Amino acid sequence: MDASKQHSSKFKTAMKQLLPSYIITFVFCFMLFVYEPLLMYSTNKLDFWFDLRLMTPPMLAAFAAFFFGGAIILTAAFLINKAIVKEKEPTAYRLISIALFFVFFAAYLQGNLLAGSLPALDGSVIEWNSFGKNDIITFIVWLALGGAAVFMLVKLGVQSALKYVAGVSVVLFIMLTVSLVTEMISWDAFKRKDSVITTNVGFNTISEDKNFVIFLADAVGSTEFGNVLNDNPEYKEVFEDFTYFPDTLGCYPCTRDTIPLVLGGALNKNEKAFEQFSSEAYSNSPFFKELDERGYDISLYDAELIWYGDKNVNISNSADYKNYRLPIKTFFREEMKYVKFKYLPYAWKRYSKIETMDFNGLVDKYIWDNRTVYKMTTNVPNLKKQSGKTFKFVHTEGAHIPFQYDKNLNIVDGYTDYETKIEATITMINAYIERLKANGTYDNTVIIIMADHGNTNLNEANDMLVRGNPMFLVKGADEHHEFAVSEKPLSYLDLMDIYTKLLDDNSAEEAVADIPDKRERYFMWYRNFRLENHIEEYVVTDKAWEWQKFKKTGNEYDLK
């Protein structure tokens, strides 16, 4: 045999020996860096402003980097093993490959069969010490896998065992692929997005003529807000000229359904997919139409506005979706948090350092957290003034979990509490109001300060009713008086009429004058923000905070 044929034969033999480890590495990397990101996106697609077009390049880049990196390491192990033992079988390399498979298989079980007890990533503090039972189950699974590995090596031998686990890897790859495609089709994950992407453009611009500002601070319950005001009378000076409506019913327990109601007056009854409902709500919004007809420049500062298709009004701070790219490094960093959260054993999941699935910071767009909004407000004390009229909708973090601020918006070690987060929210709002005053535009500005819902445990059904009483305060143009409280029983279904009256220069009390003092109001309940597909209607005839007196109407709305 000549040298070239001998070299070719050795190469083929080496590749045949390396192939099982390449297969294991490929399937392991596929599970972590293709299957999991696509599954995460498919089952939570409304939580992300981007679609598959934008996430596929960084996703495949991460997969390729880890696969080829792993392949290189295993190849080096093979070559070193062969160099040391010369013509003998590369047993050490094969044992490393088999060990890699069992780590992969343990991760597969952890992320796909033992993930049922994972906590919701809603920003709340995760008490990892409460998962002792899961730690025990994980230990038993790993012990069983270790025993299976030893049995396999004894029964089959190292070479046959490697071929066997490579075959199992192929079967798992087929199972993962079929499962993924089924889920993606089921959740309509291939649908392209062209949602509104809002930037910071115009945040520090104001009109010398007329302004209308809706400042929505997330998760501020009316009762708790009122308690903070009563415990700290100085905060009432912040809201001088405002009227506070404690008996306000917000209609929904979570943000996603509330925003189309606040901006479009549309009530979601699960008659169509949410992205279609919300897009039509904004496109058909009587409020947007009226603002446009009155010549208002419209800016929407919301990190996750779900509005697809053509926009029939101009959003001044919107960006072209097609011009955006997801940076590989930052996308990978956020994705790895979730991969570690899902696939590590429970005892190690805390090291993922995850609280939410937050991919909004990957591009230059509006960021809603209180500190960012506060800095944007205070770092630019002099507003840029423009002619015409302006409307601004500013959706901020408010009192949403986690509770990581003191009342002055400093990040603290550990966590504070809900009331302190409300105080931090007031600090942020006060800065916004004071800047309007300092720039001489306070009097010509209508200001609504509101929340989308209160804050409670997402896993308790009754707590979703408690969320129905959000903070709501109003100051009309040129309105001046001491902080006032009105007992009017408001509903967010009243908002479109209230907006119109405020646009006509009515005061807060005048804007709600036609609302009767006794009335029926309606609240749309669902179990939590992941179970919006089943809504139950409640009628409310008492105070909005007396959730124990809410009564079911019998109307239920299920998404078909």
pLDDT tens by residue, 19-32: 999 999 999 999 99
Orientation of helix 52-85 relative to helix 36-43, angle to 10°: 160
The structure tokens listed for 552 are 């079911």
β-pair partners for 522: 539
Residue 69 in contact with residue 22, Cβ under 8 Å?
no
What is residue 328's predicted lDDT score, i.e. its pLDDT?
Answer: 81
Classified as helix, coil or strand, 217 is: strand
Q: What is the pLDDT of residues 327-360, one digit of tens each?
A: 788 788 888 888 999 998 888 888 887 766 666 5
Asked if the model's pLDDT at residue 318 lies above 90, the reply is no
Calculate mean pLDDT across residues 374-389: 92
Calculate mean pLDDT across residues 525-546: 90
What is residue 123's predicted lDDT score, i.e. its pLDDT?
Answer: 62
Asked if the model's pLDDT at residue 471 lies above 90, the reply is yes
β-pair partners for 485: 244
Q: How far apart are CA 491 and CA 499, in angstroms?
A: 13
The structure tokens listed for 509 are 């009390």
Residue 419 in contact with residue 241, Cβ under 8 Å?
no
- Which residues touch 514 (CB under 8 Å, ≥6 apart)? 497
Q: What is the pLDDT of residues 177-228, one digit of tens each?
A: 999 999 999 988 988 877 788 889 999 999 999 999 999 999 999 999 999 9
What is residue 5's predicted lDDT score, i.e. its pLDDT?
Answer: 58
Calculate mean pLDDT across residues 314-322: 82
Q: Where are the alpha helices (DSSP H) in 233-354?
A: 234-238, 255-264, 274-283, 286-293, 328-343
Asked if the model's pLDDT at residue 433 lies above 80, the reply is yes
Residue 46 in contact with residue 275, Cβ under 8 Å?
yes
Amino acid code (one letter) for 14: A
Q: How far apart are CA 105 and CA 95, in angstroms?
A: 15
What is residue 468's predicted lDDT score, i.e. its pLDDT?
Answer: 93
Element (H, E) at 447: strand 445-450
What is residue 463's predicted lDDT score, i.e. its pLDDT?
Answer: 78
Asked if the model's pLDDT at residue 77 lies above 80, the reply is yes
Calculate mean pLDDT across residues 151-171: 88
Asked if the model's pLDDT at residue 483 lies above 90, the reply is yes
> Whole-model pTM?
0.82
What is residue 51's predicted lDDT score, i.e. its pLDDT?
Answer: 84
Q: How far apart are CA 25 and CA 501, in angstroms?
A: 64
What is residue 195's predicted lDDT score, i.e. its pLDDT?
Answer: 77
Domain extents in the chain: 3-186, 197-324+363-517
Q: What is the mean pLDDT of the chain?
A: 89
What is residue 13's predicted lDDT score, i.e. its pLDDT?
Answer: 76
DSSP string, 200-229: STTTTEEESSEEEEEEEETT-BHHHHHHHH
What is residue 96's predicted lDDT score, i.e. its pLDDT?
Answer: 92
Q: Where are the alpha helices (DSSP H) in 439-494?
A: 463-466
Element (H, E) at 104: helix 91-112
Q: Where are the alpha helices (DSSP H) in 239-325?
A: 255-264, 274-283, 286-293
What is residue 359's predicted lDDT score, i.e. its pLDDT?
Answer: 66
What is residue 404's predicted lDDT score, i.e. its pLDDT?
Answer: 87
- pLDDT category, 482, cuts 50, 70, 90? very high
Q: Between 7 and 490, whose confidence is greater?
A: 490
CA–CA distances in Å: residue 533 to residues 250, 270, 294, 558: 19, 7, 37, 5
DSSP string, 522-550: EEEE-SSTT-TTEEEEEEE-S-TT-GGG-
What is residue 7's predicted lDDT score, i.e. its pLDDT?
Answer: 57
Element (H, E) at 17: helix 3-30
Asked if the model's pLDDT at residue 298 lies above 90, the reply is yes
Q: Which CATH class is domain 197-324+363-517?
A: alpha beta
Task: Please confirm whether the linkage preceding 253 is cis (ω < 30° from 0).
Answer: no
The structure tokens listed for 329 are 């490094």
Question: What are the φ/ψ torsions at residue 108 (nearest 5 degrees)?
Answer: -60, -45
What is residue 505's predicted lDDT score, i.e. its pLDDT?
Answer: 95
Q: What is the dihedral of CA 9, 14, 17, 22, to 10 degrees?
A: -130
Calculate mean pLDDT across residues 265-287: 94
Asked if the model's pLDDT at residue 362 lies above 60, the reply is no
Query: Lowest-confidence range among 416-420, 466-470, 529-533?
Result: 529-533
Q: How far apart are CA 91 and CA 133, in angstroms?
A: 38
Q: How many CA atoms lie within 13 A of 465 on its CB side?
A: 18
What is residue 503's predicted lDDT score, i.e. its pLDDT?
Answer: 97
Residues 317, 318, 322, 326: is their CA dihedral positive or negative? positive
Calculate mean pLDDT across residues 418-426: 95
β-pairing, 210-217 vs 389-396, is parallel
What is residue 171's predicted lDDT score, i.e. its pLDDT?
Answer: 95
Q: How far apart are CA 192 and CA 202, in angstroms?
A: 28
Calculate mean pLDDT across residues 364-379: 89
Q: What is the pLDDT of residues 435-444, one digit of tens each?
A: 999 999 999 9
Burial class (CB in 10 A: 0-12, 13-18, 19+), 127: exposed
Calculate what percentage of the chain has a pLDDT beyond 90. Answer: 59
Q: How far apart are CA 214 and CA 35, in angstroms?
A: 41
Asked if the model's pLDDT at residue 63 lies above 80, the reply is yes
